[in-house]
Chain A
Amino acid sequence: MSDQIFLELDRLTRVFAGTAAVRELSIDVAEHEIVTLLGPSGCGKTTTLRMIAGFEQPDSGRVVLKSQDITRLAPQKRGFGMVFQHYALFPHLSVGANVSFGLETAGHSKRGIGDRVKRALDLVRLPGTEQRSVGSLSGGQQQRVALARALAPEPRVLLLDEPLSNLDAALREQTRRELRTLVKEIGITTVYVTHDQEEAFDLSDRIALMRAGRLDQLGPAEGLYHRPATEFVATFLGRAGAVESILDGRADGEVVRCRLAGDVVWSALAPEADVAFASGSNVRLLARPEALTFALTDDDAAVRGTIVDRRFAGSVYIYTVSVQGGMLEVQADGGAGRAGDAVAIAPRSAPAGIFAFPPPLHTGE
């Protein structure tokens, strides 16, 4: 992977009717990289993708491709391929004519077009379907035609707007593996939009997690999961219980000590660039279920609580435990207890999977 910036979003802002859909968003994408814009609905990810494509104009900020400012360039002049959520196949054209549409605008020769259409359809494993009407295809096939259509003109960047959201669960999982293999094979720089974290984990080189029009964190999936920058990142990617505590001091660099109810002290990972952390201040501790375990009640590091719920999660069970100052989740086997049982919880190997965040300043956002 080249480290050079290929596509750069530079402080993009887009305001709709007084509220900012996207605020001061900056993301770099390297050549051949797959970056996923991930977030709940309404976080601005689709608006961002549409600004990259040129369908939306940012109110401020720039879109830069290979150090060339393309913010004001018309969509049809960008040479970006896009796959739409509902595919937007041309219903009046055959599969072949859909795929060749972009090649004709690019002015390829007739013969060249035929070859490229064939190659594109082979690539998405739909060989020989040129004459079929798009209405006769299944949802999964339509999705692949949309991909073939976007890829055929060999675009500089591939943009995908929740392309798997209309497929059923089984097909979705299979398709996303194929999609990653295909995109990596071609080596095309890709921006992918989804609200599904599993999809993001599976597909991306890096994930840009967005909330309310802002970027919360950008990095590889493992980084976001193991070192979340905000409480939102920690809870959006994977499970985490939360409990109030008081900062007891900084142990070493990024590790802090937090005092819970009953004077139990747990060490936790603090956000890398947080300055507002002073001893004695309130912090919220978030803990992954797999980072906690049930302990003996006389364990020094154990917090006491009561099991309120037990859920079957395949190979393990997830217990929800009410403790003073919050709710924690613990991953254990099925025999660890039942609702109503008094238990004690301790970290497995602190500080891994336990994160300290300053309490939200105001809840308005």
Chain B
Amino acid sequence: MSVARDPRQRRLTPRARLLVVAVFVALVWAVVYPNLVVLVESVRGDETITLRHYAEFFQTPSEFRALWSSIWISVATVVLSALVGVPLAFLFARYEFPGRRVLGALAAMPVLLPPLVGVIAILFLYGESGIATRSVQTVLGLDAPPWRLQGAGAILAVHAYSMYVYFYLFTLAGLARFDPAVHEAAASLGAGRFRTLTRVTLPLLTPTLAGASLLTFMTSMASFSAPYVLGGGFRVMTTQIFNSKLQGELSMAMVETAMLAAVSLLVLWPLSRWEGSREYVASGKGTRAARMPVKSRWAAVGVPFLAAVGVSVLLLPHLTLILVSLVPDGTWTTQTLPPEYSLENYAQLFSEARTFRPIVNSLLMTSAATFVSVALAIAVGQLVVRWRVRGRGLLESMLALPWALPGTVLAIALATTFSLNQPWAGRFVLVGTAWILVMAYTLRVLPLTGRAALAGFRQLDPSLEEAAASLGAGPWRTLRRVTIPGLLPAIAAGASLAFVTGLGEFVASIVLYTHRTRPISIEILSQLRDFDLGAAAAYGVLLMLLVAVAFTLGQRWIQGGRRSAV
């Protein structure tokens, strides 16, 4: 865009140009390049380019089945999550009943469980020797467990449990955003409840629901923990890739990676366009719709009761995790509930170097990744929103790309690219070091911090920065005293989300870790393999607490930033 058309575009100083070049190079090198390497590797024959591996992929039924499984599981996850999340959001947004606030907040609790932790919590509860499973078995006097938590059904159940929250939170936000007068307008035109819902409320929610569907679909396509732990013989693309890599079929792993990336992007592109093209902004005076008190006597008791029961079910995995973390190693065998409890597992976690190491690793690597991704996000925000540099669309896309690519794809791409030392091609041996994990975490959280920073920059009135300049502040001082404090709420939101995501990271870690650099999630898995359930659960509880702390601190920061910004 030309300078004349946009008065805010500045002529860049040489130093600013250097920053532009540096950011471009960094993103191309870290985000785009490894994926290109995967593409190249997937078509590399002994001497020439070949499509042999692709042909093999399409001729092997098990490959094709894995791809199909990934897709249908993801579609089913979207449907199931919507069926749970949307009505729940309507219940808490529209009705007033005792305990609404507390229950409404608790309904979002599954977000506290990182994917792997959620899976093992559900395993402890509903697995073959889980508490709920044994209870049912005992009560009914059965010889065998009443169900087996394995295969597609188990994966779907875990997905729905952890991802309905997207629909729940998106719908709550969507309902809060729109003008309650629109509902009244419909009523004043004679529309009853059903017609208002189908003709007004749901159409207005479509962008919101499209956003939640997209997020759920992508998360489900990328999901690794649930299919890995609960899949049994049932394979989806992510576990298929991991297996190929494990068995040394590298070319096949490359093709699978490319296929998973292609399908993800294929879905992302039209859906995100659809989501973006239909934004409805409320024009109302910002009054909230009054919540309806529950009227009939039956409902006055029934609604809070059902809400409480529903929320308890949602909280059972958390409680189970805490319970199991208190069970000393080897004491819980065939009983329904563990017979002994102690804090032994926690004591061990912090007293032995071997068990403490993963905690330190996770915290250090996640902190580094969060810091780098926030810095990069701020730089990109400045380039895209303030300087409006040429190629800003490309910059934004690069920032968002890791979100579209499943973590497995990312990990394979990094592992492939950085296992060689070819400095002239920008390739170094990073595999085996902690740096490759930091890099993976950074890329995985970059879309989160990037989105937050861009939104923050767009909300920040540029005349604030101009005012600082008019008061004699140089660019650095303006950035430090005006821009960053103004961005703080947005950055805090992005950073806390990034930190939480990094802490529980499992998908990329399992491809890239070594014994020395293993994070908490990997340690949980190995404790589980050793049947030390208590220790695995204790790590899980620790993660859950760290996530809660990060969210709480982030929230406080967001609010603090808002106050000072006004």
Find the B residue at minimum CB distance from A165.
B285
Contacts of A106 in B (CB 8 A): 190
Contacts of B191 in A (CB 8 A): 76, 101-102, 105
Say yes or no for B185: interface residue by CB 8 A criterion: yes
Interface secondary structure of B, over-half rule: helix
Contacts of A92 in B (CB 8 A): 203-204, 206, 278, 280
Say yes or no for B470: interface residue by CB 8 A criterion: no
Q: In the complex, what distance in Å separates the CA atom of A80 from the CA atom of B184?
A: 12
Contacts of A89 in B (CB 8 A): 185
Say yes or no for B128: interface residue by CB 8 A criterion: no
Report the tally of A-B residue pairs with Cβ distances under 8 A: 80
Find the A residue at minimum CB distance from B204.
A92
- Binary contact track B281-313/A, C-beta < 8 Å → 1, others 0: 101110000000000000000000000000000
Contacts of B283 in A (CB 8 A): 86-87
The residue that B184 contacts in the complex, of A53, A79, A93, with Cβ under 8 A, is A53
Contacts of B187 in A (CB 8 A): 54-55, 74-76
- The residue in B189, B190, B191, B206 that gathers the most chain A C-beta atoms within 10 A of its C-beta is B189
Q: Are A149 and B280 in contact (CB under 8 A)?
A: no
Contacts of A82 in B (CB 8 A): 184-185, 188
Interface secondary structure of A, over-half rule: loop
Say yes or no for A236: interface residue by CB 8 A criterion: no
Q: Are A76 and B188 in contact (CB under 8 A)?
A: yes
Chain A 53-102 residues near chain B, CB threshold 8 A: 53-55, 74-82, 84-93, 101-102
Find the B residue at minimum CB distance from A106.
B190
Q: Are B199 and A80 in contact (CB under 8 A)?
A: no
- The residue in A77, A82, A84, A88 that gathers the most chain B C-beta atoms within 10 A of its C-beta is A88
Contacts of A91 in B (CB 8 A): 204, 280-281
How many residues does chain A have at the interface if contact means C-beta atoms less than 8 Å apart? 30
Contacts A101-B191, A153-B189 known; A86 to B285 CB distance under 8 Å? yes
Contacts of B192 in A (CB 8 A): 74, 76, 105
Say yes or no for A150: interface residue by CB 8 A criterion: yes
Q: In the complex, what distance in Å separates the CA atom of A92 from the CA atom of B195?
A: 15
Q: Are A88 and B190 in contact (CB under 8 A)?
A: no
The residue that A153 contacts in the complex, of B181, B190, B199, B278, with Cβ under 8 A, is B190
Q: Are B189 and A101 in contact (CB under 8 A)?
A: yes
Contacts of A153 in B (CB 8 A): 189-190
CB distance from A321 to the nearest CB of B (A): 41
Contacts of B203 in A (CB 8 A): 90, 92-93
Chain A 249-267 residues near chain B, CB threshold 8 A: none
Q: Are B199 and A150 in contact (CB under 8 A)?
A: no
Contacts A82-B188, A106-B190 known; A88 to B181 CB distance under 8 Å? yes
Contacts of A86 in B (CB 8 A): 179, 181, 283-285
Contacts A55-B184, A82-B185, A88-B182 known; A76 to B190 CB distance under 8 Å? yes
- Binary contact track B9-47/A, C-beta < 8 Å → 1, others 0: 000000000000000000000000000000000000000
CB distance from B283 to the nearest CB of A (A): 5
CB distance from B188 to the nearest CB of A (A): 4
Chain B 59-113 residues near chain A, CB threshold 8 A: none
Q: In the complex, what distance in Å separates the CA atom of A86 from the CA atom of B187?
A: 16
Find the A residue at minimum CB distance from B205.
A92
- Binary contact track B173-204/A, C-beta < 8 Å → 1, others 0: 00000010110111111111001000110011
Q: In the complex, what distance in Å separates the CA atom of A82 from the CA atom of B189?
A: 8
Contacts of B189 in A (CB 8 A): 76, 81, 101-102, 105, 149-150, 153
- The residue in B185, B199, B278, B280 that gathers the most chain A C-beta atoms within 10 A of its C-beta is B185
CB distance from B183 to the nearest CB of A (A): 8
Chain A 317-342 residues near chain B, CB threshold 8 A: none
CB distance from A81 to the nearest CB of B (A): 7
Find the B residue at minimum CB distance from A85.
B285
Q: In the complex, what distance in Å separates the CA atom of A105 from the CA atom of B195?
A: 8
Contacts of A88 in B (CB 8 A): 179, 181-182, 184-185, 284
Contacts A86-B179, A87-B283, A92-B204 known; A101 to B199 CB distance under 8 Å? yes
Q: In the complex, what distance in Å separates the CA atom of A77 from the CA atom of B186?
A: 12
Q: Are B185 and A105 in contact (CB under 8 A)?
A: no
The residue that A102 contacts in the complex, of B181, B190, B204, B285, with Cβ under 8 A, is B190
Contacts of A84 in B (CB 8 A): 181, 184-185
- Binary contact track B485-521/A, C-beta < 8 Å → 1, others 0: 0000000000000000000000000000000000000
Find the A residue at minimum CB distance from B195.
A105
Q: In the complex, what distance in Å separates the CA atom of A54 from the CA atom of B188?
A: 9
Contacts of B278 in A (CB 8 A): 92
Q: Are A90 and B195 in contact (CB under 8 A)?
A: no
Contacts A55-B184, A86-B285 known; A105 to B179 CB distance under 8 Å? no
Contacts of A54 in B (CB 8 A): 187
Find the B residue at minimum CB distance from A161.
B181
Q: In the complex, what distance in Å separates the CA atom of A82 from the CA atom of B281?
A: 21
Q: In the complex, what distance in Å separates the CA atom of A88 from the CA atom of B180?
A: 8
Q: Are B186 and A101 in contact (CB under 8 A)?
A: yes
Q: In the complex, what distance in Å separates the CA atom of A149 from the CA atom of B200?
A: 15
CB distance from B96 to the nearest CB of A (A): 14
Q: In the complex, what distance in Å separates the CA atom of A53 from the CA atom of B187?
A: 9
Find the A residue at minimum CB distance from B196.
A76
Q: In the complex, what distance in Å separates the CA atom of A85 from the CA atom of B284?
A: 8
Contacts of B184 in A (CB 8 A): 53, 55, 75, 82, 84, 88
Contacts A101-B186, A150-B188 known; A90 to B179 CB distance under 8 Å? no
Contacts of A81 in B (CB 8 A): 188-189
- Binary contact track B388-430/A, C-beta < 8 Å → 1, others 0: 0000000000000000000000000000000000000000000
CB distance from A72 to the nearest CB of B (A): 12
Contacts of A78 in B (CB 8 A): 188
Q: In the complex, what distance in Å separates the CA atom of A159 from the CA atom of B204?
A: 25
- Binary contact track B203-215/A, C-beta < 8 Å → 1, others 0: 1101000000000
Q: In the complex, what distance in Å separates the CA atom of A75 from the CA atom of B196?
A: 12
Q: In the complex, what distance in Å separates the CA atom of A91 from the CA atom of B181?
A: 12
Q: Are A80 and B188 in contact (CB under 8 A)?
A: yes
CB distance from B133 to the nearest CB of A (A): 47
The residue that A105 contacts in the complex, of B190, B204, B285, with Cβ under 8 A, is B190
The residue that A90 contacts in the complex, of B182, B281, B285, with Cβ under 8 A, is B182
Q: In the complex, what distance in Å separates the CA atom of A65 from the CA atom of B549?
A: 58
Find the A residue at minimum CB distance from B283.
A86
Q: In the complex, what distance in Å separates the CA atom of A101 from the CA atom of B198?
A: 12
Find the B residue at minimum CB distance from A50.
B184
Find the A residue at minimum CB distance from B179.
A88
Q: Are A79 and B280 in contact (CB under 8 A)?
A: no
Q: In the complex, what distance in Å separates the CA atom of A54 from the CA atom of B182?
A: 15
Q: In the complex, what distance in Å separates the CA atom of A176 from the CA atom of B319?
A: 63
Q: In the complex, what distance in Å separates the CA atom of A89 from the CA atom of B182?
A: 7
Find the A residue at minimum CB distance from B281.
A91
Q: In the complex, what distance in Å separates the CA atom of A150 from the CA atom of B181?
A: 14
CB distance from B370 to the nearest CB of A (A): 38
- The residue in A74, A89, A101 that gathers the most chain B C-beta atoms within 10 A of its C-beta is A101
CB distance from B280 to the nearest CB of A (A): 4
- For the complex of A and B, 10 pairs with smallest distance between CB atoms: A102-B189, A88-B181, A105-B190, A75-B187, A88-B185, A82-B188, A91-B280, A84-B181, A92-B203, A76-B187
A-B contact pairs, 19 of them (CB 8 A): A53-B184, A76-B187, A76-B192, A79-B190, A81-B188, A82-B184, A84-B185, A86-B179, A86-B181, A86-B285, A88-B185, A89-B185, A90-B204, A91-B281, A93-B203, A102-B188, A102-B190, A102-B191, A149-B185
Given contact pairs A81-B189, A89-B185, enumerate 16 new A-B contacts (beta carbons under 8 Å).
A74-B192, A75-B187, A76-B186, A76-B192, A77-B190, A79-B190, A82-B185, A82-B188, A85-B181, A92-B280, A101-B191, A101-B199, A102-B188, A105-B195, A106-B190, A159-B188
